């Protein structure tokens, strides 16, 4: 059944090989609503990688998986020296003048042709959904459209969130959709005049089957291992994970390996070359099998708004070891009773030792995670909630 009005979704990147939770989430919502009869556009860039923003997809309009995809070139001013200098001050939580905050935002990727498209065609959309809040398209496009804009911020408790320039964004849009209760609570703390909002959650596809033994055989992996899936970068605590894992397994003589899946090249210290297995970007099915084959999944990031990978681990019956600095990760572990939380390097080492020395007990703890993930990350529930919110917005405006 056709739904009222045309929708647009604006992820910074979209398409095969794109790695990122916000991008995956927005794409799945777009395709899910298209499958329910909504007329859906995806407005995005030609980039696959969020470091270089190089054009790896052709600009123009294509039809992909039931949605109409418009790709526009990303413009990057290199070498972005202004942004680097100001970013250091932001991370140090120093006072930053408003003009410098705007210079920081604009000295990165911009998409002028996307802005022009919204300027010319924005009024033709029932709603335009932007994510995440930190990228130029969301910041500029959502404020351009005002009441017609929906912001999915993917907010973390990071220094950037408290920059003054983001206050108008969170306060001027038509609605804000949050992925979890801790994310919503954080936004209410930072933005007292937060626009109308609700928690819509996020979903995760439930695999039909897993092949853990096949995964091990295909990659020649013997013995127990912990898994990391995601962007291998400093903001996700990858460097710290690599360092603390190496020190822990060496000091305690644990027979654990670390298998890593994700984008970007990684540099492994010589002492860990036999312990770290880098698979790079793999297919969804291969990633699912990796979750099932792992003895534990490690979520080291302190910045999470939902954490799809934790849900994917629990669906596969695998224990989660999560950084307690992320309120969302701690919240999931406490609600599910299927994960371990660490607050420092010593506790992380204890978690690894538990997995290495008591694998059966680890699997027993993880068992509760599957039912939790099925309930907490149901796409049916998420799409029902989003449709109800969009319908309420239409009725209110009429």
Torsion sign across C-alpha atoms 227, 233, 238, 239:
positive
pLDDT given at position 330? 98
For residue 367, which of 339, 340, 341, 348 has the smallest C-alpha distance? 339
Q: Which tokens hold the place of 126?
A: 């029932």
CA triple 79-141-186, angle to 5 deg? 90
8 Å CB contact between 121 and 98? no
Angle between helices 327-336 and 368-376 (to 10 degrees): 120
**CB-based burial, 229-240: b 16+ in 10 Å, e otherwise:** bbbbbeebbbeb
> Residue with structure tokens 């045309």?
6
Same domain, 191 and 229: no
Mind listing the pLDDT tens digit for each residue in 179-226?
A: 999 999 999 999 999 999 999 999 999 999 999 999 999 999 999 999
Q: Tell me, yes or no, whether 333 and 387 share the same domain.
A: no
Residues 255 and 153 in one domain: no
Looking at the domain assignment, is residue 155 inside a domain? yes
Q: Are residues 230 and 341 in the same domain?
A: yes
Total domains in the fold of the chain: 2
Beta strands in the chain (DSSP E): 6-11, 39-45, 60-64, 67-72, 75-76, 109-110, 125-131, 149-151, 175-178, 197-199, 225-229, 257-261, 276-280, 296-299, 319-323, 339-342
The verdict on 341 and 388 lying in the same domain is no
Name the stretches of the chain with pLDDT < 50. Answer: 395, 398
Beta-ladder partners of 197: 176
Tokens standing for residue 268: 């492994």
Same-domain check for residues 267 and 187: no
Domain shared by 150 and 232, yes or no: no
Residues 81 and 194 in one domain: yes
**Residues 215, 295 contacting (CB under 8 angstroms):** no
Match 């939790």 to its residue by tokens.
Answer: 372
Judgement on whether residues 220 and 198 belong to the same structural domain of the protein:
no
Predicted local distance difference test score (pLDDT) of residue 79: 63
Which pLDDT score, from 0 to 100, does residue 398 have? 41
| pLDDT computed for residue 1 by the predictor | 58
1 occurs within a structural domain: no
Give me the domain span that covers residue 164. Answer: 6-203+378-393
User: CATH number, domain at 196?
Assistant: 3.40.50.2000
pTM to 2 decimals? 0.93
Q: Are both 118 and 158 inside the same structural domain?
A: yes
Distance from C-alpha of 210 to C-alpha of 252, rounded to nearest angstrom: 32
């Amino acid at each position: 059944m056709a739904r009222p009005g045309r929708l647009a979704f604006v992820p910074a990147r979209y398409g095969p090989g794109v790695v990122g939770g916000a991008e995956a989430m927005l794409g799945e919502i777009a395709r899910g609503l298209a499958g329910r009869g909504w007329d859906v556009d995806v407005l995005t860039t030609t980039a696959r990688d969020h470091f270089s923003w190089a054009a790896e997809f052709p600009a123009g309009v294509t039809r992909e998986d039931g949605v109409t995809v418009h790709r526009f070139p990303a413009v990057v001013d290199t070498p972005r020296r202004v942004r680097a200098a100001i970013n250091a001050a932001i991370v140090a939580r120093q006072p930053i003048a408003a003009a410098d905050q705007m210079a920081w935002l604009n000295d990165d990727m911009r998409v002028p042709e996307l802005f022009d498209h919204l300027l010319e065609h924005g009024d033709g959309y029932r709603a335009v959904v932007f994510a995440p809040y930190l990228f130029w398209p969301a910041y500029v496009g959502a404020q351009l459209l005002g009441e017609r804009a929906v912001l999915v911020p993917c907010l973390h408790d990071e220094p950037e969130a408290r920059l003054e320039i983001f206050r108008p964004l969170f306060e001027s849009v038509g609605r804000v959709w949050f992925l979890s209760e801790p994310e919503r609570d954080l936004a209410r703390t930072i933005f007292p005049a937060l626009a109308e909002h609700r928690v819509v959650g996020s979903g995760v596809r439930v695999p039909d089957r897993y092949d853990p033994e096949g995964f091990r055989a295909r990659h020649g992996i013997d013995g127990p291992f912990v898994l990391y899936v995601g962007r291998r970068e400093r903001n996700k605590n990858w460097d710290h994970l690599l360092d603390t894992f190496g020190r822990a397994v060496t000091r305690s003589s644990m027979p654990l390996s670390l298998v890593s899946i994700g984008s970007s090249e990684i540099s492994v210290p010589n002492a860990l070359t036999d312990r770290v297995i880098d698979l790079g970007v793999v297919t969804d099915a291969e990633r699912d099998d990796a979750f099932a084959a792992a003895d534990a999944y490690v979520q080291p990031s302190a910045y999470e708004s939902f954490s799809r990978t934790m849900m994917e681990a629990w669906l596969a019956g695998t224990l989660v070891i999560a950084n307690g600095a992320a309120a969302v990760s701690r919240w999931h572990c406490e609600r599910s009773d299927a994960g371990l939380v660490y607050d420092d390097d010593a506790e992380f080492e204890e978690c690894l030792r538990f997995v290495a020395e008591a694998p059966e007990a680890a699997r027993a703890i993880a068992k509760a995670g599957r039912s939790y993930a099925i309930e907490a990350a149901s796409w049916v529930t998420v799409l029902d909630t989003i449709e109800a919110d969009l319908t309420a917005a239409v009725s209110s405006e009429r």
